[in-house]
Structure 1
Amino acid sequence: MQPTSQTVDQHEIVTEKGSSKKYLLPFILVTSLFFLWGMAHNLDSILIPHLKKACELNNRQSTLIDTAVFFAYFIMAIPSGMLIKRFGYKNSIITGLLVFAAGAFLFVPAANTRTYELFLFALFVIGCGLTILETSANPYATILGPPESSSKRLNLASSFNGLAAMVAPIVGSLFILSGTNHTPEQMEAMPDAARAAYLLEEASSVKLPYIILGSVLVLVAILFYFMHLPSMKTQHEEVEEKPGFFSVLKFSHLSWAVAAQFFYVGAQVCITSFFIRIAQQGAGLDEKTAGYYLGIYGFLFMAGRFIGTFFLKFIKDYVLLSIYCVCSILLCLVAIYGTGVYVIYALGGIGFFMSIMFPTIFSLGLVGLKSNTETGSSWLVMAIVGGAILPYGMGTLIDMNHDDIQSGYIIPLLCFVIILYFGIFGHKVKVVK
Structure 2
Amino acid sequence: MSYTAALAVVTIIFFTWGGLTSLNDVLIPHLKNVFQMNYTESMLIQSTFFGAYFLMSLPASKVVAMYGYKNSIVIGLIVAAIGAAMFFPAARLPSYPLFLSALFVLASGITLLQVSANPYISLLGDPAGAPSRLNLAQALNSLGTTVFPYVIGPLILAGAALSVDELAAKPVAEQIAYRAHEAASVQIPYMIIAAGLLLLAVFVYTMRIPSLAEATESADPVHHSFAEVLEQKHLFYGVIAIFLYVGAEVSIGSFLINYISAPEIGNMDHATASEHLPYYWGGAMVGRFIGAALLQRFDARRLLALFAVVAMVLLALTMLTQGTVSMWAVLAIGLFNSIMFPTIFTIAIERLGPMTSKASSLLIMGIVGGALIPLLQGVLSDRFGIQHSFVLPLACYAFIVWYGLSGSRIRAGQGQHANAQASGVMH
For normalisation by structure 2, the TM-score amounts to 0.89
Say whether the 8 Å CA contact 1:156–1:306 is kept in structure 2.
no
Q: Deviations over 1:358-410 (max 9, x none)?
A: 22222333333444443222211211111111111101011111xx2111111
Report the residue type matching 1:413 in the other structure: L
Q: Which residue of 2 aligns with 1:411?
A: 392
Alignment partner of 1:342 is 2:325: yes
Q: Which residue of 1 aligns with 2:425?
A: none
After the TM superposition, which residues 26-105 of structure 1 pair with which residues of structure 2 at under 5 Å, given as runs? Answer: 26-105=6-85
- From the superposition, tell whether residues 96 and 428 of structure 1 become closer, same or farther in structure 2 (CA, over 3 Å): farther
**Unpaired segments of 5 or more residues in structure 2?**
417-427
Please give the alpha-carbon distance, in whole angstroms, between the structure 1 residues aligned to 2:182 and 2:342.
Answer: 36
What is the CA distance between 1:245 and its match in structure 2? 3.2
What is the CA distance between 1:99 and its match in structure 2? 1.1
What is the CA distance between 1:337 and its match in structure 2? 0.8
After the TM superposition, which residues 181-220 of structure 1 pair with which residues of structure 2 at under 5 Å, given as runs? Answer: 181-220=161-200
Report the residue type matching 1:51 in the other structure: L
Alignment partner of 1:268 is 2:249: yes
Please give the alpha-carbon distance, in whole angstroms, between the structure 1 residues aligned to 2:152 and 2:79.
Answer: 22
Q: Which residue of 1 aligns with 2:373?
A: 390
Please give the alpha-carbon distance, in whole angstroms, between the structure 1 residues aligned to 2:352 and 2:60.
Answer: 18
Please give the alpha-carbon distance, in whole angstroms, between the structure 2 residues aligned to 1:206 and 1:344.
Answer: 27
**Residue 162 of structure 2 aligns to a residue in which SS?**
coil
Please give the alpha-carbon distance, in whole angstroms, between the structure 1 residues aligned to 2:309 and 2:129.
Answer: 25
Alignment partner of 1:140 is 2:128: no
What is the CA distance between 1:240 and its match in structure 2? 2.6
Q: Which residue of 1 aligns with 2:359?
A: 376
Percent identical across equivalent pairs? 38
Report the residue type matching 1:80 in the other structure: A
Say whether the 8 Å CA contact 2:2–2:209 is kept in structure 1.
no
Please give the alpha-carbon distance, in whole angstroms, between the structure 2 residues aligned to 1:144 and 1:422.
Answer: 32
After the TM superposition, which residues 293-308 of structure 1 pair with which residues of structure 2 at under 5 Å, given as runs? Answer: 293-308=276-291
Please give the alpha-carbon distance, in whole angstroms, between the structure 2 residues aligned to 1:332 and 1:325.
Answer: 10
Please give the alpha-carbon distance, in whole angstroms, between the structure 1 residues aligned to 2:302 and 2:71.
Answer: 37
**Residue 391 of structure 2 aligns to a residue in which SS?**
helix
Report the residue type matching 2:54 in the other structure: F
What is the CA distance between 1:119 and its match in structure 2? 0.1
Q: Which residue of 2 aligns with 1:287?
A: 270
- From the superposition, tell whether residues 357 and 139 of structure 1 become closer, same or farther in structure 2 (CA, over 3 Å): farther
What is the CA distance between 1:213 and its match in structure 2? 1.2
What is the CA distance between 1:178 and its match in structure 2? 2.3
Moved more, 32-41 or 101-110: 32-41
Alignment partner of 1:113 is 2:96: no
Q: Deviations over 1:296-335 (max 9, x none)?
A: 2222222112222233333343333222111111111111
Moved more, 294-303 or 366-375: 366-375
- Correspondent of 2:226 among 241, 245, 252: 245
What is the CA distance between 1:140 and its match in structure 2? 3.2
What is the CA distance between 1:146 and its match in structure 2? 6.4
What is the CA distance between 1:192 and its match in structure 2? 1.8
Count of paired positions: 410
Say whether the 8 Å CA contact 2:352–2:415 is kept in structure 1.
no
Please give the alpha-carbon distance, in whole angstroms, between the structure 2 residues aligned to 1:426 and 1:148.
Answer: 29
Say whether the 8 Å CA contact 1:258–1:380 is kept in structure 2.
yes
Say whether the 8 Å CA contact 1:261–1:361 is kept in structure 2.
yes
What is the CA distance between 1:262 and its match in structure 2? 0.3
**Residue 47 of structure 2 aligns to a residue in which SS?**
helix
Say whether the 8 Å CA contact 1:329–1:416 is kept in structure 2.
yes
**Unpaired segments of 5 or more residues in structure 1?**
1-20
What is the CA distance between 1:158 and its match in structure 2? 1.0
What is the CA distance between 1:150 and its match in structure 2? 5.1
Report the residue type matching 1:193 in the other structure: A
Say whether the 8 Å CA contact 1:151–1:359 is kept in structure 2.
no
For normalisation by structure 1, the TM-score amounts to 0.88
Q: Which residue of 2 aligns with 1:14?
A: none
Q: Which residue of 1 aligns with 2:406?
A: 425
What is the CA distance between 1:284 and its match in structure 2? 1.6
Say whether the 8 Å CA contact 1:270–1:391 is kept in structure 2.
yes
- Correspondent of 1:222 among 197, 202, 225: 202
Q: Deviations over 1:73-119 (max 9, x none)?
A: 11111112222233322222222111111111100000000100000
Q: Deviations over 1:220-273 (max 9, x none)?
A: 22222233226274699x963231233322333222221111001100111000
- From the superposition, tell whether residues 423 and 142 of structure 1 become closer, same or farther in structure 2 (CA, over 3 Å): farther
Report the residue type matching 2:137 in the other structure: A
**Residue 182 of structure 1 aligns to a residue in which SS?**
coil
- From the superposition, tell whether residues 23 and 34 of structure 1 become closer, same or farther in structure 2 (CA, over 3 Å): same
**Residue 114 of structure 1 aligns to a residue in which SS?**
coil
